[in-house]
Amino acid sequence: MGLFSEPEPQKVEVKGHLLKCPICGEELFYEREAQLNTAVASFFNFDWTNPSATCLVCANCTHISWFLGECD
């Protein structure tokens, strides 16, 4: 079983290039979305207004690569 119970890690292309982990060279990643919280929005309970990022987690070493918005 991998780091996450669903789905299986996948190869990912970013701007037409196959992504490889900068730490171990792995080509398989788990994809997750994360919200980029700011202190002001959190203070006023407006966290939902913050932008989100795509996080690609290496299936081998668990290094996280962050991309603002969606990878395409």
In this model, does residue 61 exceed pLDDT 90?
Answer: yes
Average pLDDT over the chain reads: 80
Q: Give residues with Cβ within 8 angstroms of 5, minimum separation 6.
A: none
Inter-residue contact 53 to 66 (CB < 8 Å): yes
Structural domains in the chain, sorted by start: 13-68 (2.20.25)
What confidence score (pLDDT) does residue 33 get?
81
Tell me the pLDDT tens digit for each residue of 6-38: 689 999 999 899 999 999 999 999 998 876 665
* Structure token digits, residue 8: 């299986």
Residue 43 has pLDDT above 60, yes or no: no
Contact (CB, 8 A) for 40 and 47 = no
* Contact between 56 and 31 (Cβ < 8 Å): yes
Q: 53 falls in which pLDDT band (50, 70, 90)?
A: confident
